[in-house]
């Protein structure tokens, strides 16, 4: 009923008064319960499995406050507005952002590694440790030591499929779900997350998957082939090819799944940084999916989007409110830059 209030609280800058006090009052006891051993208070095996699957997006041990917060936010959104699927694939989102940037006079430069600080005001959508390479001895020593101590979390192994037809689920209701959490019951998921946090591969890892064609039929080609995107939680820096393991998890819920596979692309966690240098060891949260980072960022600063380097700011998910596709870390970093560097306190209207 108060979706905006819940999301505004959990994705807030953690330094302002919550936008909805009633939402905060409702969320707080549930956050504390599901983020602590009191999570057993949630009744029903189905309810526990559902909430834990959603909370597992943080790739953190459970119960924890950060996983509980993610679970509450994502579950609220699922009930209130649903989880969107971008038509044409997720590339449509950066395409739209780049088009808007260029329409406002921006320039996009690709394929050039930043090895020296650019002039002027800079927002780094990077892993914090990238500043060590870019600035070197020019970093204040105390801040450099903090970055050297920065730790990344467990990773994911990407396994993507091309299928020749619909998955033969044992439970036909799954055929209507474009987003899937294939982790078993709460105990199985908690065990798997604990295993990878301790550096071991889980026998049954947490697998998250998406079937975008269920809401975007244009993803099916003339031969009836359609994509299945998936990833499995693995220890940081894992070099293991998880294709067979992930296929086995699908077979568990859909016997005959392997017969549909006409193509597979498997990328171990250790290789994800080849595609995106921010994904150190396969950590898609850039080290930000823990309660301390979600509050403070990579260093203990009142304004975690700023750095002690004049004109340099961080806007990646290593800063509050943490990992995800919400874009709020960038929003708060931009707000900081507008105020501190350009004296703009009245933010531009989003409607324009």
For the stretch 132-144, pLDDT in tens is 999 999 999 999 9
E strand map for 117-276 = 122-124, 155-163, 179-182, 207-210, 226-234, 261-267
Instruction: Say whether pLDDT at 241 is over 90.
Output: yes
- Which carries the bigger pLDDT value, residue 342 or residue 294? 342
Tell me the average pLDDT across 149-161: 97
- Which carries the bigger pLDDT value, residue 295 or residue 249? 249
Query: 59 φ, ψ to 5°?
Result: 55, 55
Instruction: Say whether pLDDT at 158 is over 70.
Output: yes
Instruction: Say whether pLDDT at 253 is over 50.
Output: yes
Helix (H) or strand (E) holding 314: strand 312-314
Tell me the average pLDDT across 173-187: 96
Which residues are CB-contacts of 236 (< 8 A; sequence separation ≥ 6)? 152, 153, 154, 155, 199, 269, 281, 282, 283
Query: Given pLDDT bands bounded at 50, 70 and 90, which one contains residue 163?
Result: very high
Instruction: Say whether pLDDT at 351 is over 60.
Output: no
- Of residues 231, 215, 227, the one with CA closest to residue 181: 231
Instruction: Say whether pLDDT at 105 is over 80.
Output: yes
Tell me the average pLDDT across 309-332: 94
Task: Domain 155-275: give its CATH architecture.
Answer: 2-Layer Sandwich (3.30)
pLDDT at 324: 86
Q: Where are the domains of the chain?
A: 3-80, 114-152+285-342, 155-275
Task: Express each pLDDT in 286-297 by its tens digit.
Answer: 998 888 888 899
Query: Given pLDDT bands bounded at 50, 70 and 90, which one contains residue 350?
Result: low
Asked which of 44-53, 72-81, 284-293, 299-308 is least confident by mean pLDDT, the reply is 284-293
Instruction: Say whether pLDDT at 352 is over 50.
Output: no
CA 134 – CA 112 distance, rounded (Å): 13
CA 125 – CA 164 distance, rounded (Å): 38
pLDDT at 303: 95
Which residues are CB-contacts of 312 (< 8 A; sequence separation ≥ 6)? 117, 122, 124, 131, 135
Angular region, 330: left φ>0, alpha ψ -120 to 50, beta rest:
alpha
């Amino acid at each position: 009923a108060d979706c905006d209030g819940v999301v505004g609280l959990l994705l807030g800058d953690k330094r302002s008064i919550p936008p909805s006090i009633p939402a905060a009052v409702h969320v707080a006891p549930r956050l504390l319960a599901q983020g602590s051993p009191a999570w057993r208070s949630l009744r029903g095996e189905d309810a526990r499995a559902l909430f834990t699957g959603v909370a597992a997006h943080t790739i953190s041990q459970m119960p924890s406050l950060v996983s509980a917060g993610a679970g509450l936010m994502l579950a609220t959104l699922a009930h209130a507005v649903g989880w969107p699927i971008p038509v044409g694939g997720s590339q449509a989102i950066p395409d739209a952002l780049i088009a808007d940037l260029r329409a406002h006079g921006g320039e996009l430069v690709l394929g050039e590694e930043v090895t020296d600080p650019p002039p002027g005001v800079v927002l780094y959508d990077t892993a914090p440790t990238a500043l060590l390479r870019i600035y070197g001895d020019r970093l204040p020593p105390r801040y450099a030591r903090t970055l050297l101590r920065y730790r990344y979390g467990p990773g994911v192994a990407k396994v993507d499929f091309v299928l020749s037809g619909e998955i033969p689920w044992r439970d036909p209701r799954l055929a209507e779900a474009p987003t899937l959490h294939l982790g078993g019951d709460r105990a199985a998921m908690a065990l798997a997350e604990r295993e990878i946090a301790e550096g071991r591969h889980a026998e049954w890892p947490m697998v998250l998957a998406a079937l975008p064609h269920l809401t975007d039929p244009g993803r099916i080609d003339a031969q009836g082939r359609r994509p299945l995107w998936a990833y499995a939680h693995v220890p940081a820096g894992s070099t293991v090819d998880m294709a067979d393991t992930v296929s086995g998890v699908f077979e568990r819920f859909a016997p005959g799944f392997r017969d549909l596979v006409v193509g597979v692309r498997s990328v171990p966690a250790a290789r994800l940084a080849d595609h995106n240098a921010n994904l150190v060891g396969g950590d898609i949260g850039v080290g930000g999916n823990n309660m301390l980072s979600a509050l403070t960022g990579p260093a203990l600063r009142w304004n975690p989007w700023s750095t002690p380097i004049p004109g340099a700011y961080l806007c990646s998910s290593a800063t509050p409110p943490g990992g995800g596709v919400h874009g709020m870390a960038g929003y708060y970093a931009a707000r900081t830059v507008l105020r501190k560097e350009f004296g703009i306190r009245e933010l531009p209207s989003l409607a324009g």
